[in-house]
Amino acid sequence: MASRSHRLRQDDKRYVWHPFTQMQDWLQERHPIIERGEGSTLIDVDGRPYLDGVSSLWVTVHGHRNATIDRAIRIQLGKIAHTTFLGLSHPLAIDLARALVRVAPKGLAKVFYSDNGSTAVEIALKMAFQYWQQRGGAFSRKRRFIALEEAYHGDTLGAVSVGGIDLFHQLYRPLLFPIQRIPSPYRAPWDRSRRVGPLKGLESLLKRSSDQVAGVIMEPLMQGAAGMLPSPPGFLKAVRSLCSQYNVLLILDEVATGFGRTGTMFACEQEGVTPDLLCLAKGLTGGYLPMAATLATQQIFDGFCAPYGEKKSFFHGHSYTANPLACAAALANLQCFQRDQTLTRLQPKIALLRRELQSLRSLSHVGDIRQVGFMVGIELMHDTIQGTPYPYEAKIGIRTILEARRRGLIVRPLGNVIVLMPPLSISRRDIVRMVRIVGDSIRAATE
């Protein structure tokens, strides 16, 4: 009689289509089937434990099976699992909106709920566009958006339009609306090319066509899915200044960078920046349930308030908008931040992670290590002096994370960049273990 794990693996290969996965490879390989979790540990159906080095795709904040969040969801289950948010409200959604406005950068005043990071971005783009259209007159010409090269903002078509990673997005270009782009502010150590700086590029675009630009969208401090590309100090603040100067809305996508990942609750706090629209998801519920929010200033909200007959409502919504179970998890998540002093206790862990990562710089195929808080990208290169990448088909990133998996660590690559983003609650001992496993895995895959 076939074991349970064998049956599950057979059924997975027979029925399931996995995201961002070459399924021909998947069908030939053996992968963990995660059944349980505790703290920073994942446990598969065979009982084997793994350190969760990517917070289950950047979402888990206070660890798996956190007692406070578990309890909040159970309490809410005793009341109601879901009620529509169209034309109705419920207590937890109200309490969560108040809590989010209180912890968000000053000036953000309203919370619009949705389901995931892509939809949070779609909503921000639509809000920005509609806001200017409803202003009317010359403002109705403001229909375009400016985004960074190598941007990633999600996988729905509006989010893909402002995305800039050819591997993910190029195929869909015929379906998308046009975008103006400026260079990523990150410059690789081996990049000796001369190019127009992103701030000069942005200012040039705005000087020429700010009357046609609805907004600038970017991830603050770190471009996540681009391969963990950090921006230099002051870049975000300068972008905010240019947007204000030229009357263009600033949209910050903090889906990945929010909720402590960069060392502060939101990345934009580090440069004293308040966006016009702020996109949140991933860590919002502590990694428990799908939920997102788009926060707006009072000025933007007021642009949608008008007599019914003017049809200026924001015609957007989702069946599970402001789901009560997700709201319960999100409120408990914020309570954990406050009660456990998560951000204060995180600082020495960030320093420890930085020190441990230094040991990887001596590896012959590590070209760059990029860190902002608990967000880390380790770029593997065929030739680190010349900046020669491994060919895509070599699958060096995949080979490295499979080596890590054999050693009891779950991480994921972005091409040839190995990403580390552990739960904020990870222990100091597990930080050391995580980096050592990564080093051993890089050696095994490249040398």
Question: In angstroms, how far is CA 346 from the centroid of its own chain?
Answer: 19
pLDDT at 1: 43
Q: Give yes or no for a contact between 294 and 114, defined as CB atoms under 8 angstroms apart.
A: yes
pLDDT at 58: 98
Q: What single-letter DSSP state applies at residue 140? A: G
Reported as a single tens digit per residue, the pLDDT across 2-29 is 699 999 999 999 999 999 999 999 999 9
Contacts for 22 with CB less than 8 Å, ≥ 6 apart: none
Q: Is the dihedral of CA 343, 185, 218, 172 positive or negative?
A: negative
In angstroms, rounded to a whole number, what is the distance separating the alpha carbons of residues 100 and 330?
10
Reported as a single tens digit per residue, the pLDDT across 349-394 is 999 999 999 999 999 999 999 999 999 999 999 999 888 999 999 9
pLDDT confidence bin for 194, thresholds 50/70/90: low
Reported as a single tens digit per residue, the pLDDT across 382-404 is 999 888 999 999 999 999 999 99
Residue 346 has pLDDT above 60, yes or no: yes
What percent of the chain is modeled with pLDDT above 70?
A: 99
> What is the overall mean pLDDT for the chain?
96
Q: Phi/psi at 369 (nearest 5 deg)? A: -125, 120
Triad 206, 277, 313: Cα angle to 5°? 105
Question: In angstroms, how far is CA 31 from the centroid of its own chain?
Answer: 24
Give CATH for domain 32-62+341-446.
Answer: 3.90.1150.10
pLDDT at 2: 63
Reported as a single tens digit per residue, the pLDDT across 99-130 is 999 999 999 999 999 999 999 999 999 999 99
Per-domain boundaries in the chain = 32-62+341-446, 70-339
What percent of the chain is modeled with pLDDT above 90?
A: 96
Domain spanning 70-339: which CATH class is it, in words? alpha beta
pLDDT confidence bin for 141, thresholds 50/70/90: very high
Closest to 150 measured CA to CA, from 225, 73, 57: 225
